[in-house]
Copies of this chain bind each other. A is one copy, B any other.
Amino acid sequence: MITVEEHLSRIVGTVRRLPPIGMELLDAQGCVLAQDVTSEVALPGFRNSAMDGYAVHASDLEGAGEQSPVRLPVACDIAAGNTQALNLAPGQSMRIMTGAPMPDGADAVVPVERTDGGLALVVVSAAVSVGQHVRQAGEDVAVGDLVMRDGTRLEPRQIALLSAVGTGRVMVTPKPRVVVISTGDELIEPGTRPGFGQVVDSNSPMLTAAVRALDAIPSRVGCVRDDARTFLSTIESQLVHADVVITTGGVSMGAYDTVKEVLSRVGTMRFDKVAMQPGMPQGFGVLGEDEVPVFTLPGNPVSAMVSFEVFVAPALRLMAGRPQYETSLVTAVATHDWATPPGKVQYARVVLSRNGSGHPSGHPSGQPSGHTVAIAGLQGSHALGALAGANALAVIPADVTSVRAGDQVLCHPLGPITEAS
């Protein structure tokens, strides 16, 4: 028996960030940048107005106020999108729109609200200081600035900045392509009605969705029989277009555990009992010329889901170049006692609730509120009903022999946290 940490370190010591590829920026959402980006342009690209108003020489408005308005002739309008270089003569003004280029000579903008809005002659009832309401070229980003580092995930705001500095293509770490295979003679395809002894394959739909939810690219092979030749040829044919393969089933102590039987002989596959509940029988290694990481997860659906969260998700994040701290644990108070298996880390299916002054859109009344946690139904590793009703896994260390009401418990969220009423 090995520990969760031992198995996980073997995995993260084996998988590697995927080699970079070039992509169109607008297609690269969710990918991680695999290059530093230095700006070849300045932002703003030209000196422009921060307000709708009038471009002026600040010195022309000295002493201007409600009681002592100043009148200036309006030479012309400058709209956003004006591409003409203009020059403002002393004693004159130009009506200017937000984002429009400042005329040479002008050194400030009077907001339209502080004027009469005149078209040929404007009456200004406020003084302005030099530079006021003017955006200087390069004040946000200068030419040559490092605007984004290798390792940054491309979210909406990053895509906006890279668009603005003129990036068309980017080198990124691609999203891992993950092949999902269920094994078991008892399995039938989703959407068909099971006879006696048959079970609908829920693992491959679940793990396909879990891969997609992690922003990786799933490919669902579906169910494969417990037959050594079929299984081996299926996995070999999938290796060519996979960055990762996940199988479920066939890795336990049974007489027909095909996955373990077939893969024990190839690649660097190793099968271990891991001190955890659920999820004890685990296999991991690399297969084929390209050394594709293969995870053989147990076949019980709850075990498969827990194994995915604990072992596969960190590997996929690492391969995608994403930081591991994206998922973090939440501390919560147990609302009742429950039993835990001695000597194994328990991943209990629980409902995690935020207490009291939750603040969905408003402001909280004081301190940050706490969390509570309660067991979500039947805890067997086949109990899909309870798994679907849970929103977190409570992670109870191997040396803890029981959880008591009031204990602080670490929870790994699986979905949005419920607001307690």
A positions within 8 Å CB-CB of B: 8, 25-26, 29, 41, 43-46, 50, 52, 77, 79-85, 95, 97-101, 112-113, 135, 139-141, 145, 147-148, 153, 155-161, 163-166, 168, 184-187, 190-203, 205-210, 212-213, 220, 226, 252-256, 299-301, 305, 314, 323-331, 354, 358-361, 363-364, 367-368, 378, 380-388, 390, 395, 397, 410, 414-417, 419
Contacts and interface: CB of A to CB of B under 8 A. Distances in A.
Contacts of A381: 50
Contacts of A41: 193-194
Given A80-B184, A163-B206, A196-B83, A157 B414 contact: yes
Nearest to A309: B156
Nearest to A164: B202
Nearest to A361: B324
A397 B378 CA distance: 45
A140 to B, nearest CB: 5
Contacts of A417: 325, 328
Contacts of A166: 191-194, 200
A419 B191 contact: no
Nearest to A203: B160
30 contacts: A8-B361, A45-B198, A50-B382, A80-B185, A80-B186, A81-B198, A95-B255, A99-B299, A99-B382, A101-B196, A101-B197, A140-B385, A145-B385, A148-B388, A155-B213, A155-B414, A156-B206, A156-B210, A160-B202, A163-B206, A166-B191, A166-B200, A324-B361, A325-B417, A328-B358, A328-B359, A329-B359, A329-B363, A329-B364, A359-B410
Query: Chain copies in the assembly?
Result: 2
Contacts of A368: 330-331
B197 A156 contact: no
Contacts of A326: 416
Contact of A113 (B253, B324, B328, B386): B253
Given A43-B385, A328-B359, 14 more contacts: A80-B184, A80-B256, A83-B195, A83-B198, A98-B252, A112-B253, A139-B378, A139-B380, A157-B206, A160-B209, A165-B200, A166-B193, A168-B190, A330-B368
Contacts of A197: 46, 81-84, 100-101
Contact of A325 (B44, B209, B419): B419
Given A44-B382, A382-B140, A388-B158, A358 B325 contact: yes
Contacts of A206: 156-157, 159-160, 163
A363 B386 CA distance: 25
B255 A79 contact: yes
A387 B157 contact: yes
A85 B196 contact: yes
Contacts of A29: 209, 212-213
A380 B190 CA distance: 53
A376 to B, nearest CB: 10
A410 B113 contact: no
A361 B4 CA distance: 11
Given A45-B199, A79-B185, A196-B85, A97 B255 contact: yes
Nearest to A111: B253
Contacts of A164: 199-200, 202, 301, 384
